Structure 1
Amino acid sequence: MLPLAIILFAIGGALVIEGAAWAIYPGGLRRIYHEMISQMSDKDLHVSGLICVFIGVIVLALAIGLLPG
C-alpha cells in the first residue's frame, strides 16, 4: 500500500466515523460540542488541536514506516 493510500484511508476513515455520528445523532452532538467548547478557553482549544495534530502525524509516520518495501 502506498503512503498516499494510507493517508487517504486514515482521512476517509475519520470522515466516515465523524459523519456517521452526525448523521445518527445530530442534535445530541450539537449539544455536546456546544457544552464542551463553551467551557474551554482559546488556549485550551489551541493546545488540544496541536496535540491532535502531533498524534496524527506520529500515527501516520508509524503506518508509513510499517509498510513493506
Structure 2
Amino acid sequence: MTDLIAGLGIALVLEGLLWALAPNLARRVVAEIATRGNGGIQATALGAVALGVFLVWLARG
C-alpha cells in the first residue's frame, strides 16, 4: 500500500510540474488530444499502461 501511495505521489508531482512549468504547452497537448479519435487515444493509453507496468516490473525486480 505504501508503494501505491508513493507511485501516486510521483505521478502527481510529474503532472504538476508540466502545468507549473509549461502551462501553454499543457493546454496545447490537451487541445490536440481532444481532436483525436477514441481509437488513437485508447491505443496511446494502453501503450502508456504497458510501459508503466514494465517500468514497475524493472524497478521491483
Name the TM-score, length of structure 2 as normaliser: 0.72
Percentage of pairs with the same residue: 32
Cα separation, 1, equivalents of 2:50 and 2:29:
24
Which structure carries more relative contact order (alpha carbon 8 Å, separation 6+)? 1
Return 5+ residue gaps in structure 1 as ranges: none
- For 1:28-47, list aligned pairs within 5 A: 28=24, 29-34=26-31, 36-37=32-33, 38=35, 40-47=36-43
TM normalised by structure 1 equals 0.66
Question: Is it true that 1:58 corresponds to 2:61 in the alignment?
Answer: no
Structure 2 residue runs of 5 or longer lacking an equivalent are none
2:13 to 16, 20, 25: 16
* Count of residue pairs brought into register by the alignment: 59
Cα RMSD, aligned residues only: 1.9
Please tell me whether Structure 1 or Structure 2 has the larger radius of gyration of its CA atoms: 1
Structure with higher helix content: 2
